[in-house]
């Protein structure tokens, strides 16, 4: 679910296609120590209260002091949860955006037009639990965007490639971008060359290349 901050970043005619986060295992790894500490503190408070000072003022004091100590791991756990939930990876029909930060926001985005390649790496456990690393190679100064342990990485990569493909096709045909259409006898060879480059880079498949080639030739 996208928040108002993310929606305010969208440009004209820009639509969100996919929003994801790091896999839940990343969150669990960050908070497991805090969960264990909370359980230990709760057990210690209960043991002291029941066996050592079961009644009276000291019993109340044990719960007050124990509750104060318990606040520290609870606050730490809540902070880790907020950090995880506010770190979003967003794919629109024009950009790939990474947003992080609870109060101060850190935003990195790459135009789909500058995406040269998308690499996905999944370990054995990544395939079993559905997480992986997505590496985006771009023509921008940043060069590479690496998203680690993303949930459902196959869907992320597919959505990104399909959006890149549609954007490239729109630019080639000039129908949705408002670009001036070049005469067919000049435009078709250039379009086919660009499509061939997209195929070589793995952005479109051979089947998609042949389909778009057939569509272009049939238009004129």
Residues 6+ apart with CB under 8 A from 189: none
Q: What is the pTM of this model?
A: 0.67
103-109 long-range Cβ contacts below 8 angstroms, 24+ apart? 105/5, 107/9, 108/142, 108/145
Please give the pLDDT value at position 139. Answer: 64
Q: Output the CA–CA distances (angstroms, integers) from residue 109 to 93, 94, 143, 163, in the order listed.
A: 13, 10, 12, 15
Q: Output the CA–CA distances (angstroms, integers) from residue 58 to 12, 62, 207, in the order listed.
A: 65, 6, 77
Q: Output the CA–CA distances (angstroms, integers) from residue 50 to 29, 38, 112, 146, 202, in the order listed.
A: 32, 18, 62, 52, 66
Which three-class secondary structure state does DSSP give residue 48? helix
* Measured distance CA(197)–CA(156) in Å, rounded: 22
Distance of CA 27 to the CA centre of its chain: 14
DSSP bridge pairs for 20: 89
Composition of the chain by helix, strand, coil, percent to 5: 55, 20, 20
* Measured distance CA(10)–CA(13) in Å, rounded: 8
Please give the pLDDT value at position 177. Answer: 45
pLDDT tens-digit profile, the chain (220 residues) = 456 777 888 888 889 999 999 999 999 999 999 999 999 999 999 998 888 887 788 888 988 999 999 999 999 999 999 999 999 999 999 888 888 888 888 888 888 888 888 889 999 999 999 999 988 877 654 445 778 899 999 999 999 889 988 887 776 665 544 444 444 444 566 677 777 777 776 667 787 778 777 776 765 5
CA atoms within 13 A on the CB side of 120: 19
């Amino acid at each position: 679910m996208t928040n108002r901050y993310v929606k305010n970043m969208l440009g004209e005619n820009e639509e969100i296609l996919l929003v994801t986060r790091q896999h839940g295992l990343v969150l669990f790894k960050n908070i497991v120590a805090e969960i264990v500490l909370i359980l230990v503190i709760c057990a210690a408070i209960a043991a002291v209260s029941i066996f050592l000072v079961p009644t009276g003022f000291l019993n109340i004091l044990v719960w007050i002091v124990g509750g104060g100590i318990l606040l520290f791991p609870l606050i730490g756990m809540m902070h880790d949860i907020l950090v995880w939930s506010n770190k979003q990876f967003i794919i629109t029909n024009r950009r790939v955006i990474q947003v992080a930060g609870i109060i101060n926001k850190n935003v990195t985005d790459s135009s789909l037009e500058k995406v040269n390649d998308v690499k996905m790496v999944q370990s054995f456990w990544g395939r079993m639990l559905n997480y992986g690393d997505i590496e985006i190679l771009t023509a921008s100064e940043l060069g590479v965007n690496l998203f680690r342990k993303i949930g459902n990485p196959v869907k992320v990569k597919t959505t990104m490639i399909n959006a890149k493909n549609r954007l490239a096709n729109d630019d080639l045909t000039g129908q949705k971008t408002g670009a001036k259409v070049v005469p067919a006898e000049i435009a078709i060879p250039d379009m086919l060359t660009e499509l061939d480059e997209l195929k070589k880079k793995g952005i479109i498949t051979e089947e998609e290349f042949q389909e778009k080639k057939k569509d272009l030739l049939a238009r004129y």
